[in-house]
Amino acid sequence: MKRKKYNCRKSGCLNGPYLGGLCRNHHDEDVALRQLRADALTALHSSLIDEELPRHQHLRDELNRLQEYWSRVCSVVQTQRGTPVMPLDEAGYAIEWCISLAQEIVTAQRQVAEGKAISTSLEFTQLWVWERLQNLDAGLRSNGTRPE
C-alpha cells in the first residue's frame, strides 16, 4: 500500500511540508510576516522601530498621526462602544488598516536605516488608509457611503 505524499498547504506549492504544514520557504515567509506585524504593533504602542525612534522626519510624523487614530480605535474596541466618528462595526477594520500602515512605516524605516530608497508601497498604503479613516471622520462609512 502506497503512502500518501503530502505537500505544502500553500495553494499551488508542491514542496513537502517542513513545519506547520508549510514548506521551508513558505514557513520562513510566514514567520517574517508575523514578526513584521509584531514590530508594527510595537511601533503603534511605543513609537519605537527596532528600539529607536524613526530617523526620517516624514516617517516619525506619519507614525505619530497614526498613533492618534490607533488610540481612538483601541478605545472603541476595548469598551465595545462605538462613537459617531468610529462606529463599532468599523473599528475592527480600522485596526487592520492601522497595522498595515504601521507595517509599511516599519519597512520604510528599515530601508532608510540601510541607506535604500523608501518603497512606493508606503505612499499607496498611506493614501488607501487615510482615505478610509477620513471617511469615518466625515461621518461616512469607510467606503464613503452614508450610514443607514
- Over residues 135-144, the mean pLDDT reads 77
Kindly tell me if the per-residue pLDDT of 81 is higher than 70: yes
pLDDT, one tens digit per residue, over 15-28 is 877 777 878 888 88
Kindly tell me if the per-residue pLDDT of 138 is higher than 90: no
Q: Is residue 131 very low, low, confident or very high in pLDDT (cuts 50, 70, 90)?
A: very high
Q: How remote is the C-alpha of 37 from its chain's centroid?
A: 6
Residue 3 is predicted with a pLDDT of 64
Q: Is residue 123 very low, low, confident or very high in pLDDT (cuts 50, 70, 90)?
A: very high
Across 2-6, 75-79, 96-100, 130-134, which has the greatest mean pLDDT? 96-100
Cβ-based neighbours of 11, under 8 Å, separated by 6 or more: none
- Over residues 119-126, the mean pLDDT reads 94
The domain ranges of the chain are 24-137
